[in-house]
Amino acid sequence: MSTPSASRPLDLIIVEDQKEVREGLRYLLGLDPRVNMVRTYDRVETLLDALDTLPTPDLVLMDIGLPGMSGIEGVRAVKKRFPSVSVIILTVFEDTDRILESIRAGANGYLLKSTKPDILLEQILGAAKEGSPLSPRVAKRLLEEIQESGEQSSLSDYGLTPRERQILTDVVNGFTYREIAARYNIAASTVKKHILHIYQKLDVSSRAEFVRKAIREKLV
Amino acid sequence: MSTPSASRPLDLIIVEDQKEVREGLRYLLGLDPRVNMVRTYDRVETLLDALDTLPTPDLVLMDIGLPGMSGIEGVRAVKKRFPSVSVIILTVFEDTDRILESIRAGANGYLLKSTKPDILLEQILGAAKEGSPLSPRVAKRLLEEIQESGEQSSLSDYGLTPRERQILTDVVNGFTYREIAARYNIAASTVKKHILHIYQKLDVSSRAEFVRKAIREKLV
DNA sequence: GATGAGATACACCATTCGGTGTATTTCTAA
DNA sequence: TTAGAAATACACCGAATGGTGTATCTCATC
């Protein structure tokens, strides 16, 4: 429960190497009554120096394509020393790799420069307080990523029999022939036979390959 | 490459059990010139029946808390038969579980009912065409999820030396003492020594446990 | 009733593995 | 300079593994 309408005006920082974009953003954001102060830098290194002495901002708008350190490295550096500062990426790039890397670096949002100014303003100032501003095209990439990661599970069944599946699980869990035999009250030689059959079906020839393959493609 | 300003007006469907909300949304959306037609249903089952006979819509706005089938099941059902239809969740729930389940079910967006009407309209009609509308608080949950999933990687470094890390990789890839020894031109006995050291550090005592643990927590 | 798949079981053998001990060299840090 | 970590190497032993062959028994399906 916060008090959105009565919150303290924000101190912002913009890191952007193109002067026109930088000044345009500063002007746009500076007009809004929710903003107290806007500082700008043209590269990450300068920002990091300044953070040592000047007051800590509430929010940093970070470009990715910068001379020297990239904005993604910038996110990592800023979040490491000031975890509570919101850092929002503002860039032209919308590839999944850069989006994911930015998020893993600790970014609190990811906006595209193609966003219309009024929506951009609302996203930055409105969304940042309670959530993470994301451009819809960026969000789309994330949803696709999440959907794909959940799918790859049941791809290959191989021709394993129920008994073989049981034993496969035990092998992955580190049991030996004898131990598995004891679990099912069968002879160790039988367990061995089963495992050799599984090896043929999975096309492997050692415990290590077996465990790796079993874990990498689903079961267990 | 689309023609956003000249695109065909959209046919929408709203699935929402509360009459006031349903009619409010219908009114709000119906006013916009980008909308051609709005149909409403109070439960998923009715929608599914209607989809068999009536024209396929462009976009479905789906509540989650519904009598009978939940909206998440509704997403699954609709996307299964009409994969190209955009289905956007509109709900009061903002827990990570429901958000992720909705996305895995195939949802193309996830908006909260607390969204201000003008922004809601813009998200639905503006964002849905080229991206996935997500409320900032929902996006925040997703970012946290992605950050966490990437973190558990480097959590445990164990005290492995560079050489041990090399050999660890080879073992996971199924090589034997001899093969690894050949790769680095060292004696098999040395490789064995290294592996036994790694066993102690990882607290395992067999190839199977070793590979499993190595894969489960990071490296390789 | 025959055929085949699945599960069971035993034998044999070479290789690999797990565990322990000892020892040398090099390099870094105290 | 000295102590310790890292990497190297060899020996020995019992246990586990991989590979192959053979042989029942059951059950379902043809």
**What is the pLDDT at residue B156?**
63
Q: Is there a contact between A208 and B210 if contact means CB atoms under 8 Å apart? A: yes
Closest CA to A62 of A124, A127, A137: A124
Footprint of strand D on the protein (CB under 7 A): A 176-178, 189, 192-193, 195-196, 199, 205-207, 210; B 159, 161-164, 181, 184, 186-187, 189-190, 192-194, 206, 208
- Chain A within 8 Å of B143 (Cβ-Cβ)? yes
Q: Is the Cβ–Cβ distance between A141 and A94 less than 8 Å? A: yes
CA distance to partner chain A, nearest, from residue B168 (Å): 11
Out of A104, A107, A135, the one facing B131 most closely (by C-beta) is: A135
**What is the pLDDT at residue A6?**
55
Full set of structural domains in chain A with CATH: 8-143 (3.40.50.2300), 162-216 (1.10.10.10)
Q: Angle formed by the axes of helices A162-172 and A188-202, to 10°?
A: 90
Q: Is there a contact between B107 and A212 if contact means CB atoms under 8 Å apart? A: no
CA distance to partner chain B, nearest, from residue A191 (Å): 16
Q: Is there a contact between B212 and A100 if contact means CB atoms under 8 Å apart? A: no
Cβ neighbour number for residue B183 with a 10 Å cutoff: 13
State the pLDDT confidence band at B200, using cuts at 50, 70 and 90: confident
- Chain B within 8 Å of A100 (Cβ-Cβ)? yes
Q: Is there a contact between B171 and A208 if contact means CB atoms under 8 Å apart? A: yes
Cβ neighbour number for residue B50 with a 10 Å cutoff: 14
- Sheet containing A59-62: give its strands across: A35-41, A10-15, A59-62, A86-91, A109-112
- For chain A, positions 101-130, list CB contacts with chain B under 8 A: 103-104, 106-109, 119, 122-123, 126-128, 130
Q: CA(A184)–C1'(D24) in Å?
A: 19
Q: Is there a contact between B147 and A172 if contact means CB atoms under 8 Å apart? A: no
Q: Which long-range contacts (CB under 8 A, 24 or more apart) does B209-214 make?
A: B209/A174, B210/A208, B210/B171, B210/B172, B211/A207, B211/A208, B211/A211, B211/A212, B211/A215, B211/B171, B211/B172, B212/A172, B212/A173, B212/A174, B212/A211, B212/A215, B214/B168, B214/B171, B214/B172
Cβ neighbour number for residue B105 with a 10 Å cutoff: 23
CA dist., res. A38 & res. A32, Å (int): 11
For B17-32, the pLDDT digits (tens) are: 999 999 999 999 999 9
For B110-148, the pLDDT digits (tens) are: 999 999 999 999 999 987 788 999 999 999 999 999 988
CA dist., res. A87 & res. A128, Å (int): 9
Q: Nearest 5°: phi and psi at B36?
A: -95, -45
At A110, is the secondary structure helix, strand, or coil?
strand
**What is the pLDDT at residue B151?**
65
Q: Which nucleotide across the nucleic acid strands is nearest to B185, CA versus C1'?
A: D8
State the pLDDT confidence band at A2, using cuts at 50, 70 and 90: very low
Q: Is the Cβ–Cβ distance between A28 and A121 less than 8 Å? A: yes
Q: Is the dihedral of CA A67, A68, A73, A77 positive or negative?
A: negative
| Range with the poorest average pLDDT among A114-128, A132-146, A205-219, B17-31 | A205-219
Q: What is the largest CA-CA distance in chain A?
A: 81
CA dist., res. B20 & res. B113, Å (int): 13
Q: Which nucleotide across the nucleic acid strands is nearest to B187, CA versus C1'?
A: D9
The more confidently predicted of residues A25 and B156 is A25
CA distance to partner chain B, nearest, from residue A196 (Å): 15
The more confidently predicted of residues B161 and B119 is B119
